[in-house]
Amino acid sequence: MKTDFCEILQKLNSNNGSMLCVVTMCRAVPINDLIYRASQQSDKLHALSTMLTQELVCTYRVHACHTSSLQTPTDKEQALQVSESDLLSLARSLLQAWSDPLVVLSSSTNVLPYSAQSTLSKTIQKMQEHSKDLKDGLDILSSKMGPAAQTITSLPFIETNEIGQDKITKLLSCFRRDSHKIDSFLKVLRCRAANMQPQMC
């Protein structure tokens, strides 16, 4: 396990040239498994949000999300050029930005018709759980990957004066995209780390 960890770090260092000094000793759980687990969580998170959005949002609309200010890659070339630490940082920032809005979302279900309320409530609850797990995992992962990974961009959530229905729709749409971003970043990170395990990619 120690060898895996060291090899990954060497690879990470070589890819982006950043100094990822790892001074800490090897943990029991190797990075590969952590990343894999994180990507699984983000995948689930996004799937939930997609399901929810497709049920409650009739049409796709563009909304200005509170996380739009965060600069994220817009195409593949850009995305593949992002370092592992930045990828992790972006993921963690986005995740962090949605911890409060999810709470707001769960409390706004009363505006919806009763039939949709239960679905929304359950799903939002699940999403919060996954989000929590993912956050914890990413925290551990970031601690192994150096100080650059620890950076979290603050994306405060400011409630706007939107009508309940619209608010939910907007929130759901935004969360869908952001969860997709998180999932994408982590999966790219996963393939970067799975040098010895190509079956993960």
Partner 1 sequence: MTKVGEVLLLLLLPAFVPHTDGTRYSLPGKPTEIKCRSPEKETFTCWWKPGSDGGLPTTYALYYRKEGSDVVHECPDYHTAGKNSCFFNKNDTVIWVSYNITVVATNALGKTYSDPVDIDVVYIVKPHPPEKLEVTVMKDQGWPFLRVSWEPPRKADTRSGWITLIYELRVKLEEEESEWENHVAGQQKMFNIFSLRSGGTYLIQVRCKPDHGFWSEWSSTSYVKVPECKTSSVWILILVFSAFILLILIWLIHMNSHSLKHCMLPPVPGPKIKGFDKQLLKSGKSDEVFSALVVSDFPPTTSNYEDLLVEYLEVYVPEQQELMVDEGKDHDGCLKSIGSASDSDSGRGSCDSDNLLMDKSGAAKEEQQQQNQEGDQIGTETQGPKEAWEKETMLCANEDVVSPDASSKKVKTWPSVFSPVTPYSPSPLDPHNSLEMHKQNCLSDTQFPPGSPSSDHCIKKALQSSYWEVCFNNNQPYPQTDVHQQLQAHSDRNISAINDGNVPSNLLLPTRMTEYVEVQRLNEENKVLLHPIPSGHSREKACSWVGHRDNYSKVKGVNSDNVLLLQRDVVEEESMEMAGAAESCYTSSIAINTPKPTTCSHIALPVQEERVLAVSGYVDTATMFSLDTYVNEMKPVASKANTV
Q: How far is the CB of 60 from partner 1 (least distance, A)?
A: 5
Q: How far is the CB of 70 from partner 1 (least distance, A)?
A: 11
Among 22, 47, 112, 148, binds partner 1 (CB under 8 A): 47
CA distance 127 to 195: 31
What the block records as the tokens of 63 is 């909304």
Q: What DSSP string runs through 147-178?
A: GGGG-------------HHHHHHHHHHHHHHH
Stretch that binds partner 1, among 26-34, 40-48, 131-139, 146-154 (CB under 8 A): 40-48
Determine if 171 is a binding residue for partner 1 (CB under 8 A).
Answer: no
Locate the DSSP E strands across 47-168.
none
Task: Please report whether residue 57 would count as binding partner 1 according to CB under 8 A.
Answer: no
Least distance from partner 1 to the Cβ atom of residue 25, Å:
28
Q: Which residues bind partner 1 (CB under 8 A)?
A: 43, 46-47, 50, 59-62, 64, 72-76, 79-80, 177, 180-181, 183-184, 187-192, 199-201
